[in-house]
Amino acid sequence: MMRRLLGVALAAAALIILLYGVEDLPPWGDPNQPASLHVSPRYIEKGLAETGVANMVTAVLADYRGYDTLFETAVIFTAGVAVLMLLRRRKP
Amino acid sequence: MIDTLFTHYNYWVFAILLVIGLYSMMAKNNLMKKLIGMNIFQWAIILYFISIGAKRGAQIPIVAGTHGQGQGLAIHAADYINPLPHVLMLTAIVVGVATTGIALALLIAIYKKYNTIEEDEIIQRLQQ
Amino acid sequence: MIREQKDIIIHTICRILIPFMQVYGLYVLAHGHGSPGGGFQGGCIFAASFILMPIAYGLDVGKKRLAERRTIILCSLGVFIYGGIGLLCLLLGGNFLDYGALSAILPVGPVMARYYGIAVIETGVQITVMAVMVSIFINLVTGGSHEEEMQKTHD
Contacts with B67 from chain C: Cβ below 8 Å: 34
| pLDDT under 50: residue ranges of chain B | none
Q: Parse chain C into domains and list their residue ranges.
A: 8-146
Of C32, C75, C86, the CB nearest to A77: C75
Task: Judge whether A7 and B22 are in contact, CB under 8 Å.
Answer: no
| Contact at CB, C36 and B62, closer than 8 angstroms | yes
For A14-19, what is the mean pLDDT? 91
Of B68, B108, B112, the CB nearest to C33: B68
Is any Cβ of chain C less than 8 angstroms from the Cβ of A59? yes
Q: Parse chain A into domains and list their residue ranges.
A: 38-92
What is the reported pLDDT for A49?
86
Q: What is the ipTM of this complex?
A: 0.88
Is any Cβ of chain C less than 8 angstroms from the Cβ of A78? no
Which domains are present in chain B? 2-55+78-127 (1.10.287.3510)
| Contact at CB, C33 and B112, closer than 8 angstroms | no
Contacts with A77 from chain C: Cβ below 8 Å: 75-76, 78-79, 128, 132
* Exposure letters C33-59 (e unless 16+ CB within 10 A, then b): bbeebbbbbbbbbbbbbbbbbbbbbbb
Which percentage of chain A shows pLDDT scores above 90?
A: 47
Smallest CA-to-CA distance from B42 within B117, B103, B97 is with B97
| Contact at CB, B84 and A35, closer than 8 angstroms | yes
Of B12, B67, B106, the CB nearest to A19: B12
Please report, in tens digits, the pLDDT of each residue of chain C (155 residues total). 667 767 889 899 999 999 999 999 999 999 988 889 999 999 999 999 999 998 888 888 888 887 888 899 999 999 999 999 999 999 998 889 889 888 888 888 888 899 999 999 999 999 999 999 999 999 998 887 777 666 665 55
Q: Where are the beta strands (DSSP E) in B1-128?
A: none
